[in-house]
A and B are shown apart, each in its own frame.
Chain A
Amino acid sequence: MAGGAEAAWLSVEIEQRERELRGLREQLAAVLAEEHGGAAQQGAGAVDADFPAKLPPLPAQAALSPADILRYSRQLVLPELGVRGQLLLARSSVLVVGCGGLGCPLAQYLAAAGVGRLGLVDHDVVETSNLHRQVLHGEARRGFPKAASAAAALRQLNSTVQYVPYCGALTPRSALQLVQQYDVVADCSDNVPTRYLVNDACVLAGKPLVSGSALRLEGQLVVYNYHGGPCYRCLFPKPPPPETVTNCADGGVLGVVPGIMGCIQALEVLKIISGMGSSFNQFMLMFDAQEGRFRNIKLRPKKSDCAVCGDNPSVTCLQDYEAFCGSSATDKCRTLHLLSSKDRISVEEYKKLLDEQVPHVLLDVRPKVEVNICRLEHAVHIPLSKLEEKDEECMEYLEKIIFEEKQRTDGQTSFPVYVVCKLGNDSQKAVRILQELPVKEFGPVLAKDIKGGLMTWASRIDPTFPQY
């Protein structure tokens, strides 16, 4: 018991120190970003930056230096690239929107290949759960802005490339001005509003857009707005309903999958700027990692009635993309508010109830794969999907558990069932279902959800409980 308390206390202390360290790292990164960004970062804060007015043009280079020849020799001997192609790379600038799972490998190969300038946009900071796929960031740079962290890593790889980190979100206010200063844009973002924003900015600025995406074990890639081909809106005139969009935190992603897609994006960028041309104009590349299969899909041509690239465009300047898509321009998990506060309890209230040994059932409604990661010992597990389909076996099991626990009470009042999930969204949906349970079989049940779920339990009650 004493050992347990000490361990808990130590964990809290460690967390406190780590928070302090994170703060210091952020300050350092902000200072570094300002220093390295130079003129580019003028007037810009570390976050939500007002992006730069104008970058100086890249110096025209007539010939490769001996150092360049040595460095790039293995690709210089390719007839498809040659000296001419290498000089074109050195004269080109590429804007990388998102320094995550796609942006890291993409930027790495573009820097290694000797692109002239890389703009690196990201509003986020490096977190531990990023490291499995965002391979430019390391443990030591947790808490750093990703754009600054990526620039620092790339500088070690190839110091002859110019890196311009933008530690803020791409916004409708800044995007066009930024995109205009680059030759090609790579969309490595993680959310729907940003994808429409980047597309429209590229169409308005007349820049090719190499767009990649990945989730779970699949990836997709298309080159938009290139040589008269379609744009993102030609393919997707209407944004998907927000509830159908899954992010990497909810859906999961195997790190190497965005790695593969980011590498192919880098390849297409290199082919475009070196004059070889892209293979994915009016084609989509689909990658299924589980089957080990790549598929090339022939797409529609540019649409004459497209809202932004069509003959009579209705989008002639950048708009409010979060409103257009009904979702926010981050990949952070959404917070649902389905239930009123009387149907919810806080983690603190639940802890108190546990300590007082109040009879109840704790129902964990996460998918099995997440329960295998971590769970509260006393919880009963029925995934939300089984509740939604009223799976017979599961409903009987629930009825049995409630009946057994009820024996420990006087049976006078409604029996409490508390529902928990990872973040407190699914648990609300489950409470809705439990509220409809037939009283005949289950008896009166009082269902409530635990606000913020197990992740809030981990941060506020039990620091030894894993976060994922």
Chain B
Amino acid sequence: MAAPVSLQVEFGGGAELLFDGVKKHQVTLPSQPEPWDIRNLLKWIKQNLLKERPELFMQGESVRPGILVLINDADWELMGELDYKLQDQDNVLFISTLHGG
């Protein structure tokens, strides 16, 4: 059994509008047999935080194009993307890219 994991999950660049406009969420993921990774976190977010229109946030099991995922202020691409194993107190930021000028 993996222990519960506490995270700070943040949304920015407009992605927070899908979460009642709240940018910062303190999240505790319950203990489960498998260790928590980003793939599971996305499923958890879809079920627990994302109220509607999931297609504006997700595509398949990942985030939709145009959303950058940052783990502790680094591009998730550097950390193993969906397979990154979450550590207690990690910061995960989902940022929608801006195009306006």
Contacts and interface: CB of A to CB of B under 8 A. Distances in A.
Interface of A: 98, 100-103, 188-192, 195, 212-216, 218-220, 235-241, 243-248, 251, 253, 258, 284, 286, 288, 295-300, 331, 388-389
B13 A297 contact: no
Interface string B1-44: 00000000000111000000000000000000000000000000
Contacts of A288: 12
Contacts of B82: none
16 contacts: A103-B101, A189-B101, A190-B101, A213-B97, A215-B98, A215-B100, A240-B66, A240-B67, A243-B56, A244-B64, A244-B66, A246-B14, A247-B99, A251-B14, A286-B95, A297-B75
Interface residues of B, number: 25
A258 B73 contact: no
B101 A297 contact: no
A190 B51 contact: no
A216 B21 CA distance: 13
Contact of A297 (B56, B73, B98): B73
B86 interface: no
A98 B101 contact: yes
Interface string B39-77: 000000000000110011000000011111010011101
A134 to B, nearest CB: 10
Contacts, number: 105
Given A236-B65, A244-B64, A389-B52, A298 B99 contact: no
B20 to A, nearest CB: 10
A191 B56 contact: no
A440 to B, nearest CB: 25
Contacts of A190: 99-101
B51 A239 contact: no
B101 A235 contact: no
Contacts of B98: 213-215, 218-220
A312 B77 CA distance: 20
B17 to A, nearest CB: 9
Contacts of A192: 99
A189 B55 CA distance: 26
Contacts of B77: 299-300
A216 to B, nearest CB: 7
A216 B17 CA distance: 12
A235 B65 CA distance: 10
A295 B95 CA distance: 12
B74 A244 contact: no
A357 B62 CA distance: 53
